[in-house]
Amino acid sequence: MTLSARTPRATRDPRPEARSRPAGERPSTVTLPDRLSGAAFLFLGVGLVAIVLLVPFAITVYRGFFGDGVDSEFAGLDNYVEMFRDPILVRSLINTLIWVVGSLVLPVGLGLAIAVMTSATRWGRWARLAVVLPYAISGSAVAVVGAFMLQTDGAVNQLLHALGLDALTTQWLLNWPQNTISAILLSTWQGTGVAVVLFLVGLQTVPPETIEAAALDGADGWKRFRYITLPQLRAVTVVVVGITLANALRAFDLIWVLTQGGPARSSETLALSMYRETFLLQDAGQGSAIAVVLTIVVVGSSWTYLRSNLRGTR
Amino acid sequence: MQITRLHRTAGLLLATLLAGVAAACGDSGSSGTETGPLSLYSDNPTWEKGFTDAGTALQKITGRGIKPVSVPSTSDYEQVVRTSITTRKTNDLVKWWSGYKLQDLASTGLLSDLTDVWNAAEQKGWLDPALKPNYTFNDRVYGLPMYQSYWVVFYSKPLFAKYDIEPPTTFADFERTAATLKQNDVTPLWTGQSDTWTSFIPYQALVAAQSPDYYTKLTQNQAAWTDPVSQNALNTWKDWIDKGWTTPADSRLADAPAMMKSGKVAMLPIGTWQNSNLKLAGLTPGEDYGAFFMPTSVAGAPKSTFVEGGAWTVPTNAPNRDDAVKALGSWLDPSVQSVWSDFMADSSANPTVPSTDPLIKQIQAKVAQDKPVLLNRFYEAFPSKLVLAATTELSGFMVHQDTGPKVLDSIQKTSETEWADWKKQTG
């Protein structure tokens, strides 16, 4: 829009160097009023981002180099070193990685499978509705229902007991890593719907001729999916994986309501550790260091993944 | 041309938005409202009706009632209060805890001095002067008692009657009672760590049953967590868990009244403030449940019970600070306290106000008769960060009972750091 608005002005430029430029190309010099006007508009956008995002982040980075509440003395990299020394924070880091792997395998894998298996069936819309509905529920509500089901005396163990499968009953929320895996399963139940919707949109963009041609060439169902459909879903897969990655790394509400990160902080992820250290233990230095590491992991992994994959889809 | 106009409009909208955000972030200069109820932060949604009703009685004296705002999770509540009292957007009154937790908050300088209010109430005989140290920091009072709860063991009368059990008077009796109940497929004792703080309940009970003196020294940093008394407490607790005498570690306190009502659990060790929640679950005191004090486990050990009273506080940034302080001057008035203690079904902090609840009357009579050593509840008896670390460790112990010595070692190490920090913080 901006270009089309400026193009006529550029062509009216009386200067010879401007006239010799091909039509539609932006002039190399911009008038001062244009610059000021642009800066003013840029200032608003940049200002908002700075106030809401960059300034708090800079303060967080700065705070991460200081100790906890009492003296808040300069601590250098102590808070970062402590992160890798404290077994609780190391476990929190491991839990975060389990969340990433679990969320990539389960919601993305299941989402793709459900979308592919239900896209061409008549009853598919009902199956999809059942899968998508939990996405409308908040993480906290899912956790409340999850706790009711997964407590030692909860519905899941009662069902297993009623079926005579007592050997399978366990304390789902009390032992590590079961409690982390249980939380991931609940998150999967809630979050698979959005992956299904996105994959369905992707499937609609796959030209049916390509699949028909493959069928005529004798490719069976799995081969048609593996060599024809899946490569054409690459763009949407990148988006789904990107969203899932970010969601997994910042998982908080579901875990907090389900276990409060316990018992003994065994189900904490970095997001919970950050909250606990900052607001409950009032150690803003340690909390800030965790926040910085978490930010680097989230932005770094998302950037790397999206950059490497989007390049191939251009 | 159109685009320029669009840009101008967008710029104007953004500028307006930014100005609005800036105004909202800035000091609103709020001086509160001159009429209407005073706002109150609480972590207990089930008490909202009690606060409102007591506020109506308070309004007749001071002209202003109470409008409660609840944050149900205790952990979230603490964070909300600690953050909000630094701003002008806090509430007029804040429900808090006594002891170290109050001192911790008072040390920030963000709580109003209530010394005059306390002294006036004490002169009228509305307060027990013995409670004053629990509400004092650097010789000034920063909180007023909200209620007076004793820690007892509530028990199911129908289950005890069914299995022909009398309320235990000795520790051996208590363990026999538990064994009998377990034999009949009833879980004897409610315990849990899902609410995090509740993990200290068995520990404090088993320590005080052996030595109230040790517990007092522990709260004054004059005893070690690795002492044999603490070790014995964890050993006994492990034994109870191994025998299946306790509910699973992921049990929630909110479910305890229903578990007692359905006959799944027979005993609930908790403060008498839980009386109102048992009633809410449809249980009748004296008929469906009774209460006894935890017996001592060592011959010659003095009887003891834990007490807690909560605390009313007024942030210095409260929009209606003066009216809030004035309202607290009448909080202990018998006309307000009778409404409040009736709702709570618990003892009033004002000793001149009798309880109307038959069970609480019995407990008060027992306290007057036995004169047990009154101990500060675990939650308020140590610096906040130590409480948080200890309850976290004890939560872990509830799941992995073989870690007892490691748990006590870890709490001891944290204790040394946190007491040193506490001394620095409070000068």
Q: Is 90 exceeded by the pLDDT of residue A69?
A: no
Contacts B247 to A, Cβ<8 Å = 153
Q: Do B350 and B334 meet the contact criterion of CB atoms below 8 Å apart?
A: yes
Nearest to B209 by CA among B241, B186, B175: B175
pLDDT classification of B6: cutoffs 50, 70, 90: very low
Local structure of residue B301 (DSSP, 8 states) = P
Alpha-carbon gap: B75 to the closest alpha carbon of chain A (Å): 7
pLDDT classification of B39: cutoffs 50, 70, 90: very high
Distance CA A202, CA A210 (A): 15
Size of interface A-B (CB pairs under 8 A): 77
Q: Are B18 and A265 a contacting pair at CB < 8 A?
A: no
Distance CA B256, CA B254 (A): 6
**In a domain? residue A251:** yes
Element (H, E) at B150: strand B149-156
Helix, strand or coil, per DSSP, at residue B171: helix
**B100-105 average pLDDT score:** 92
Contacts A260 to B, Cβ<8 Å = 75, 194, 196
Alpha-carbon gap: A275 to the closest alpha carbon of chain B (Å): 10
Q: What integer pLDDT is reported at residue A312 of this predicted model?
A: 56
Q: Does B322 touch chain A (CB under 8 A)?
A: no
pTM of the model: 0.83
Q: Are B249 and A151 a contacting pair at CB < 8 A?
A: no
Distance CA B404, CA B262 (A): 33
**B137-149 average pLDDT score:** 95
Q: Looking at chain B, which residue has its C-alpha nearest residue A153?
A: B248
Q: How many structural domains is chain A composed of?
A: 2
Locate B181 and state its tokens. 């109940």
Asked if B64 and B168 sit in the same domain, the reply is no
Q: What integer pLDDT is reported at residue B40 of this predicted model?
A: 95
Distance CA B425, CA B76 (A): 23
Q: Does A262 touch chain B (CB under 8 A)?
A: yes
Q: Are B251 and A151 a contacting pair at CB < 8 A?
A: yes
**A287-308 average pLDDT score:** 87
Q: Does A282 touch chain B (CB under 8 A)?
A: yes
Asked if A224 and A114 sit in the same domain, the reply is yes
Contacts A47 to B, Cβ<8 Å = 18
Asked if B212 and B128 sit in the same domain, the reply is no
Q: Do B282 and B350 meet the contact criterion of CB atoms below 8 Å apart?
A: no
Asked if A210 and A283 sit in the same domain, the reply is yes
Asked if A3 and A126 sit in the same domain, the reply is no
Q: What integer pLDDT is reported at residue B178 of this predicted model?
A: 98
Among partner residues A40, A51, A280, which is closest to B79 by beta-carbon distance? A280
**In a domain? residue A71:** no
Q: Is 60 exceeded by the pLDDT of residue B414?
A: yes
Q: Looking at chain A, which residue has its C-alpha nearest residue B187?
A: A153
Distance CA B352, CA B123 (A): 13
**In a domain? residue A179:** yes
Distance CA B349, CA B144 (A): 9
Asked if B169 and B241 sit in the same domain, the reply is yes
Q: Is 90 exceeded by the pLDDT of residue A36?
A: no
Q: What integer pLDDT is reported at residue A269 of this predicted model?
A: 95
Asked if A293 and A223 sit in the same domain, the reply is yes
Which one-letter amino acid corresponds to residue B192? G
Nearest to A142 by CA among A37, A234, A258, A54: A258
CATH number, position A166: 1.10.3720.10
Pick from A21-35, A54-68, A228-242, B42-56: least confident: A21-35
Asked if B386 and B398 sit in the same domain, the reply is yes
Asked if B275 and B381 sit in the same domain, the reply is yes
Asked if B105 and B227 sit in the same domain, the reply is no
Contacts B423 to A, Cβ<8 Å = none
Q: Are B392 and A262 a contacting pair at CB < 8 A?
A: yes
pLDDT classification of A11: cutoffs 50, 70, 90: very low
Contacts A279 to B, Cβ<8 Å = 79, 82-83
pLDDT classification of B380: cutoffs 50, 70, 90: very high
Asked if B251 and B204 sit in the same domain, the reply is yes
Which one-letter amino acid corresponds to residue B191? T
Contacts A68 to B, Cβ<8 Å = 421
**In a domain? residue B369:** no
Measured over the CA atoms of residue B26, residue B30, residue B36 and residue B40, the dihedral's sign is positive
**In a domain? residue A48:** no
Q: Between the ranges A127-131, B14-18, B93-97, where is the mean pLDDT highest?
A: B93-97
Alpha-carbon gap: B39 to the closest alpha carbon of chain A (Å): 23
Q: How many structural domains is chain B composed of?
A: 2
B38-42 and B93-96 beta bridge pairing: parallel
Distance CA A88, CA A94 (A): 10
Q: What percent of chain B has pLDDT over 90?
A: 79
Which one-letter amino acid corresponds to residue B355? S
**A31-57 average pLDDT score:** 87
Q: How many CB atoms lie within 10 A of CB B67?
A: 17
Asked if A1 and A122 sit in the same domain, the reply is no
**In a domain? residue B25:** no
Q: Does B396 touch chain A (CB under 8 A)?
A: yes
Asked if B399 and B319 sit in the same domain, the reply is no
Contacts B22 to A, Cβ<8 Å = none
HEC readout, chain A: CHHHHHHHHHHCCCCHHHHCCCCCCCCCCCCHHHHHHHHHHHHHHHHHHHHHHHHHHHHHHHHCCECCCCCCCECCCHHHHHHHHCHHHHHHHHHHHHHHHHHHHHHHHHHHHHHHHHCCCCCHHHHHHHHHHHHHCCHHHHHHHHHHHHCCCCHHHHHHHHCCCHHHCCCCCCCCCHHHHHHHHHHHHHHHHHHHHHHHHHHHCCCHHHHHHHHHCCCCHHHHHHHHHHHHCHHHHHHHHHHHHHHHHCCCHHHHHHHCCCCCCCCCCHHHHHHHHHHHCCCHHHHHHHHHHHHHHHHHHHHHHHHHHHHHHC
Alpha-carbon gap: A298 to the closest alpha carbon of chain B (Å): 25
Q: Please state, in angstroms and as integers, the Cα–Cα distance from residue A101 to each residue in A184, A271, A294, B145, B388, following that order.
A: 10, 16, 16, 51, 31
Token look-up 């509305």 returns B126
Contacts A262 to B, Cβ<8 Å = 193-194, 196, 392, 395
Average pLDDT taken over every residue of chain A: 85
Asked if A181 and A308 sit in the same domain, the reply is yes
- Distance from chain centroid for Cα A126: 27
Asked if A165 and A86 sit in the same domain, the reply is yes
Asked if A293 and A200 sit in the same domain, the reply is yes
Asked if A282 and A156 sit in the same domain, the reply is yes
Contacts A263 to B, Cβ<8 Å = 193, 249, 395-396, 398-399
**In a domain? residue B391:** yes
Asked if B115 and B182 sit in the same domain, the reply is no
Q: What integer pLDDT is reported at residue B425 of this predicted model?
A: 79
**In a domain? residue A69:** no
Among partner residues B75, B78, B396, which is closest to A260 by beta-carbon distance? B75
Alpha-carbon gap: B71 to the closest alpha carbon of chain A (Å): 14
Distance CA A98, CA B138 (A): 48
Asked if B416 and B291 sit in the same domain, the reply is yes
Torsion angle of C-alpha atoms A163, A168, A172, A174, degrees rounded to 10: 130
Q: How many CB atoms lie within 10 A of CB B398?
A: 26
Neighbouring C-alpha atoms within 13 Å toward the C-beta of B41: 27
**In a domain? residue A209:** yes
pLDDT tens figures, B185-202 = 999 999 999 988 999 999
Contacts B401 to A, Cβ<8 Å = none
Asked if A19 and A126 sit in the same domain, the reply is no
Q: What integer pLDDT is reported at residue A103 of this predicted model?
A: 86
Q: Do B315 and B110 meet the contact criterion of CB atoms below 8 Å apart?
A: yes
Distance CA B104, CA B381 (A): 12
Q: Does B248 touch chain A (CB under 8 A)?
A: yes
Among partner residues B79, B252, B421, which is closest to A279 by beta-carbon distance? B79
- Best mutation target among B7, B80, B392 (most A Cβ atoms within 10 Å) is B392
Asked if A138 and A14 sit in the same domain, the reply is no
Q: Do B294 and B201 meet the contact criterion of CB atoms below 8 Å apart?
A: no
CATH number, position B112: 3.40.190.10
Q: Is 80 exceeded by the pLDDT of residue B64?
A: yes
Q: What integer pLDDT is reported at residue A42 of this predicted model?
A: 87
**In a domain? residue B3:** no
Alpha-carbon gap: A295 to the closest alpha carbon of chain B (Å): 22
Q: Looking at chain A, which residue has its C-alpha nearest residue B9?
A: A41
Asked if B223 and B262 sit in the same domain, the reply is yes
Asked if A86 and A13 sit in the same domain, the reply is no
Q: Please state, in angstroms and as integers, the Cα–Cα distance from residue B164 to each residue in A5, B159, B160, B179, B181, following that order.
A: 92, 8, 6, 13, 10
Asked if B342 and B257 sit in the same domain, the reply is no
**In a domain? residue A143:** yes
Distance CA B252, CA A147 (A): 10
pLDDT tens figures, B246-280 = 999 999 999 999 999 999 999 999 999 999 899 99
Contacts A70 to B, Cβ<8 Å = 421, 424-425
Q: Do B218 and B275 meet the contact criterion of CB atoms below 8 Å apart?
A: no
Q: Are A175 and B399 a contacting pair at CB < 8 A?
A: yes
Q: Does A71 touch chain B (CB under 8 A)?
A: yes
Q: What integer pLDDT is reported at residue B13 of this predicted model?
A: 45
**In a domain? residue B193:** yes
Q: What integer pLDDT is reported at residue A309 of this predicted model?
A: 75
Nearest to B380 by CA among B303, B293, B310, B286: B310
Q: Are A174 and B399 a contacting pair at CB < 8 A?
A: yes
Q: Are A152 and B248 a contacting pair at CB < 8 A?
A: yes
**A141-147 average pLDDT score:** 94
> The domain containing residue A20 runs over which residues?
1-30
pLDDT tens figures, B302-358 = 999 999 999 999 999 999 999 999 999 999 999 999 999 999 889 999 999 989 899
Average pLDDT taken over every residue of chain B: 90
Alpha-carbon gap: B8 to the closest alpha carbon of chain A (Å): 9
Element (H, E) at B148: none
Instruction: Give the contacts of A209 (CB within 8 A, at least 6 positions apart).
Output: none
Q: What integer pLDDT is reported at residue A33 of this predicted model?
A: 85
**In a domain? residue A66:** no
Among partner residues A44, A171, A279, which is closest to B250 by beta-carbon distance? A171
Alpha-carbon gap: A244 to the closest alpha carbon of chain B (Å): 27
Q: Is 70 exceeded by the pLDDT of residue B141?
A: yes
**In a domain? residue B338:** yes
> The domain containing residue B80 runs over which residues?
38-148+309-350
Q: What backbone phi and psi angles, to 5 degrees, belong to B416?
A: -60, -45
Distance CA A205, CA A207 (A): 6
Q: Does B425 touch chain A (CB under 8 A)?
A: yes
Q: What integer pLDDT is reported at residue B25 of this predicted model?
A: 41
**B282-296 average pLDDT score:** 96
Q: Are A147 and B194 a contacting pair at CB < 8 A?
A: yes
**In a domain? residue B11:** no
Q: Are B196 and A262 a contacting pair at CB < 8 A?
A: yes
Element (H, E) at B267: strand B265-271
